[in-house]
Structure 1
């Protein structure tokens, strides 16, 4: 069973971290400033690739952003590619 936790430091830098049975297997590195969430990197450990974990991290981040009425600055190649491939799905939150 996987769990995703948003873990931030005092400067609001951190990540959505994905844990499976207590072991960290993926992360989406972000920072928060005002109403903008910037995504820098999404990564999954080699042994956890191909299980849809990057997509789950993306869904968690998108849900958080919508709930908090924020916009996303997609500097991460994975997130940028998803936003580009599915613009209708993300147009409400994509800060281009």
Structure 2
């Protein structure tokens, strides 16, 4: 079983990404911008050789946990995140900025 860790890296303007790493390399990222009240998700990408392992879901869970902890509303411009929010509104309505 691979172990993964997720690190949020932001620049001084609040732009950056949640990076998903395994023991050796970066295997995916979720590009975001964060302000005092909002977290905008632009894009989620997993390296092709790691697709199909549920790793996008790990990034989604990390982003949602961060948004809830910081009391941020999420703007899901990313197609993957928007689809998950639409499929499971009961899980995300508390943070989804429609």
Q: TM-score normalised to the size of structure 1?
A: 0.98
Give the length in aligned residue pairs.
96
Query: Which of these residues, 73, 91, 94, is aligned with residue 92 of structure 1?
Result: 94
Name the residue aligned to 2:12. Answer: 10
Structure number with higher strand proportion: 1
Name 1:27's counterpart in structure 2.
29
Q: For the residues of structure 1 that align with 2:66 and 2:36, how far apart are their CA atoms?
A: 14
What's the secondary structure of 1:40's corresponding residue? strand
Per-residue CA distance 1:18-67 (angstroms, 9 max, x = gap): 00113000000000112100000000000010111100000000000001
> 1:40 & 1:95 partners in 2: Cα distance?
14
List aligned pairs for 1:1-96, cutoff 5 A: 1-96=3-98
Question: SS where residue 53 of structure 2 aligns?
Answer: coil
CA distance in 2, matches of 1:79, 1:18: 16
| Structure 1: gaps (5+ residues) | none
Could you say what secondary structure the match of 1:66 adopts? Answer: helix
In structure 2, runs of 5+ residues without a counterpart are none
Supply the RMSD in Å over aligned alpha carbons.
0.6
Q: TM-score, normalised by structure 2?
A: 0.96
The whole-number CA distance in structure 1 between the counterparts of 2:67 and 2:24 is: 25
